Structure 1
């Protein structure tokens, strides 16, 4: 893998050569009584910090040519005063070349590792569709970990019949363990969201996946949402920050649950149910789903980010522009401190362009042909009936289905 040369690196090359020529000029002006040849050995050592081994060798050879020219000028070539600086320059060039080779090898390895990590992170939380069913969607993620694209926060969208479902959540803790837990939760959502008839069932599947992972003392706050074509919004809240609704005419409303729900992973400790919230959206209404990394962003004095007074930024012409403006405002608020927590934002706008009630597809009832195959409740099953496992017989299948 070839490491690309940047504009800054090219400027540094010119500066290094310029310094060598300046030292040579100073040596000539100072006369034979003062020699600056020892300074030339620094050139390959400096070059080793930023260029490949060929560049170090080239720098050393260029410095050697200038040094020989100066020795000829001062009539010192072959004398001990000239031999020692040249020997030092040669040794420094050799060791600097080895150091540059080691540095570039580690840089290539680090680049490959970052590529693999980036691909893995994109697999866990991939890009969301700009439009899904009756909604336009935009998302933004910021990790508190340096050089990481994701952390313990997550979101996902699943299109369903006559609507769309989504989840946003926050894993307790940070680091790789939090990322693994987020991957487990997302896998459970992707598997259950298209086939479960109720959002609570999706939440139960996610909670079961967390329990099967066997991670002790780890829980996940989350909000599950379903937006139907007719504008009906249903939220199921597991101890997560309540989303904010921005009606198209103006104003702000909090989609607070009817009761505080326990986070996933703690909901199995006793009898509990998640909080619920339902409302009907009008075309143009927007909903901000976010994790607590946004609420808990602090400035240098410790004041929290005033989200409720800044949500007007989300009324930009496009959803992505609004999220970008909000991120910029948060960075301005926390300019003197690094992010203390991951932050996930998901902005949804109801377009009002879904199917009309007369055109909506009814949820099919289980029939004998679906025996032995997990029933898809909210999406049409993409598997042909003849390929579904454990069919009791072919008596109920048509000739085309048996073919």
Structure 2
């Protein structure tokens, strides 16, 4: 059974109607010596601020009726002043109705843009499973821009045999072009993360996805990670902020790479190989993957958010609650002008759960050949990735 609903005032705006009644009351109080007929035009003006066009027009008619009644009451209905005042109410009503129609069109357009942006952003920052393999997972994305503007942060978690593979990345810039590039990277990761024998091959596949977009000169920083059920962790860093390991027994470890890694899409400026970090996780250890919007959140004095010293917020409680605590802490620290888009992934390792069953290759370096990547049929010429594979 549907719940009964109160009738909607489709042809009368409540705010505008109250404004008209207020003018009428003031007109009665002041008497015949003060004429407020032209002031009734305030009704449709107030209604146009948020009312629909029919409601604005109805409010204008409501105002004209009250103005006519009180003009007749004061015996001035036939005077030129009354005629001019009623004409002013009619003109203002027409203009206010047109303005409301224009405003409504803009609002509808903005609503569509927000829906499109929200859909695109959900694709770049999807809902992740609470548990995958040996880890518990929580994710958080927050945009500091207009709701209709798409950010460039993206992430994904793909379960594999004996563990999970994780992606956290940030595309240069914002907007639809940046979203298209992020979608290409996500598509490559989702396709190859579950089947590639090595994590480095996944990174090469993602670099190939960018190389096939020659019209787009953007690049992306990224971190690829592999966490196995026996606690081994491999991190490949392509110019991205290093993940933070929060130890269950106390202390933190930054997964700094053994060498600087070039961002994806800038292979021509270096050898294209990522920085690498290997570590071991113990039961209860947590790993925070994040974009630069977290560590670069600034307060009013320009100081960055001290992630390392505030990492204790991630230690106690469910991973989702810990991320919420950190979000609140960042909000207290950063000014609106000092905030940027930020994506967070917090993984808690639970193990060991049995014998090691690491994904094939275990994150180790496996030499790749151009023929395996399909370079013999790829249309990209002078590809720096091919040159790297030949070295």
TM-score normalised over the length of structure 1: 0.81
**1:350 alignment counterpart:** 349
Structure 1 position 338, deviation (Å): 4.5
Cα deviation code 1:196-234 (max 9, x no counterpart): 100010011111111111156533221111111112111
| SS of residue matched to 1:307 | coil
Cα deviation code 1:304-363 (max 9, x no counterpart): 111111111112412121111111111211135252x32111111112274x228x4996
Change (3 A) 1:153 1:240: same
How does 1:2-401 map onto structure 2 within 5 Å? 14-148=14-148, 150-215=150-215, 217-271=217-271, 273-335=273-335, 337-339=337-339, 341-352=340-351, 354=353, 356-357=354-355, 360=357
Structure 1 position 101, deviation (Å): 2.5
Q: 1:270, 1:15 → 2: CA distance?
A: 64
Q: 1:150, 1:104 → 2: CA distance?
A: 23
Work out whether residues 219 and 265 of structure 1, in 8 Å CA contact, stay in contact via their aligned partners in 2: yes
Gaps of 5+ in 1: 1-8, 365-374, 376-403
Structure 1 position 15, deviation (Å): 4.9
| SS of residue matched to 1:308 | coil
Change (3 A) 1:272 1:66: closer
Bigger shift: residues 273-282 or 210-219: 210-219
Change (3 A) 1:246 1:145: same
Work out whether residues 120 and 150 of structure 2, in 8 Å CA contact, stay in contact via their aligned partners in 1: no
Q: 2:174, 2:206 → 1: CA distance?
A: 19
Structure 1 position 71, deviation (Å): 1.1
| SS of residue matched to 1:35 | coil
| SS of residue matched to 2:310 | helix
Q: 2:352, 2:93 → 1: CA distance?
A: 69
Work out whether residues 170 and 221 of structure 1, in 8 Å CA contact, stay in contact via their aligned partners in 2: yes
Bigger shift: residues 226-235 or 119-128: 119-128
Q: 2:187, 2:326 → 1: CA distance?
A: 29
Bigger shift: residues 316-325 or 96-105: 96-105
Structure 1 position 150, deviation (Å): 4.3
| SS of residue matched to 1:309 | coil
Bigger shift: residues 155-164 or 114-123: 114-123
Structure 1 position 265, deviation (Å): 2.1
Q: 2:148, 2:97 → 1: CA distance?
A: 32
Q: 2:314, 2:26 → 1: CA distance?
A: 61
Structure 1 position 178, deviation (Å): 2.3
Work out whether residues 44 and 57 of structure 2, in 8 Å CA contact, stay in contact via their aligned partners in 1: yes
Cα deviation code 1:54-95 (max 9, x no counterpart): 211221122122212211221112222222211221222233
Cα deviation code 1:278-306 (max 9, x no counterpart): 22211211001111111111111111111
| SS of residue matched to 1:302 | coil
**1:369 alignment counterpart:** none
Change (3 A) 1:304 1:217: same
Cα deviation code 1:109-158 (max 9, x no counterpart): 33233223322332333211111111111111123431147422211111
Paired positions, count: 354
Work out whether residues 52 and 101 of structure 1, in 8 Å CA contact, stay in contact via their aligned partners in 2: yes
What is the Cα-based RMSD across aligned positions, in Å? 2.6
TM-score normalised over the length of structure 2: 0.83
